[in-house]
Amino acid sequence: MKMARVAYSGAIHKAFPDEYGVRLDDGRIVSETDVVWLTPFDVQTIIALGLNYADHVKELSKELTITEKDEPLVFLKGSNSVIGHRGHTRRPRGVAFMHYECELAVIIGPPAKNVNAANAMNHVAGYTVCNDYAIRDYLENYYRPNLRVKSRDGGTVLGPWFVDATDVADPHELVLRTRVNGKITQEGSTSNMVNRIPELIEYLSSFMTLGPGDVILTGTPEGVVNVNEGDEIITEIDGIGSLSNTIVGDGTFGIDDA
């Protein structure tokens, strides 16, 4: 089952796909542009993977000092960064390289501690799509990628749907794709993950207890390009969802010219 959370007509509702838009939990069928899309689940700890696709590692190889044989490159993001489908993300004036990252987001269900890879999938509640923005201008070589790059307000777009784990036959055979203003700029397959979902859960749960609503952003394939104010970025994963985000400028947030 696919389920979203939306605000409509003064209240928050569960919503479901419908051929004429979305169907609310009270029976109303409304256009998907008439609702405000919230994140499809209550987001708790946000765990992100860097360099988890072999092709993306190659893409960034000039600036890398690690190899894919090292332990998973994990970082955490703040909840300030979370927004839903059709949200707006600010590109600060003057930056040169802000890019999207289309990622399969794995949502944890039952708590997981010291879980073996063989049992790990029992702890997955479902999936959604993430657009995990980065602004490379702000990269510094301390706790890299540092939070100023990856945990900015609006930098973690999640949605539109929570897709039950039981509805996804093989999460490692999904096609990911990003379109910027309609043009495909990124395409890959979750089959190219360096560390797969069961291994990630085993690794993470070896030192921290994962709980319901924690989310693992499993990394992005090659094909990240700079985006600019006004661009519409659609990150999509076949069978999971198609997630839209629009880049806005400082003016939208009342930030004056420097």
Contact positions vs other proteins (CB under 8 A): 44-45, 47, 65-66, 71, 73-81, 111, 113-114, 138, 140-148, 151-153, 207-211, 214, 255
- What single DSSP character describes residue 205? H
Min dist CB 67 to other proteins, Å, is 13
Distance CA 210, CA 219 (A): 18
Nearer to other proteins, 210 or 247 (CB): 210
Closest CA to 219 of 254, 191, 180, 181: 191
Min dist CB 256 to other proteins, Å, is 11
Min dist CB 113 to other proteins, Å, is 8
Nearer to other proteins, 16 or 138 (CB): 138
Give how far Cα 185 sits from Cα of 4, 152, 188, Å.
Answer: 27, 23, 10
Closest CA to 148 of 157, 159, 137, 156: 137
Nearer to other proteins, 77 or 177 (CB): 77
Specify burial of residue 26 (Cβ count, 10 A radius: 0-12, 13-18, 19+).
Answer: exposed
Token pair listed for 44: 């708790």
Q: Is 217 helix (H, G, I), strand (E, B) or coil?
A: strand
Nearer to other proteins, 9 or 79 (CB): 79
Min dist CB 65 to other proteins, Å, is 6
Q: How many residues does the chain have?
A: 258
Min dist CB 68 to other proteins, Å, is 14
Over its C-alpha atoms, the chain yields an Rg (Å, rounded) of 18
Nearer to other proteins, 127 or 133 (CB): 133
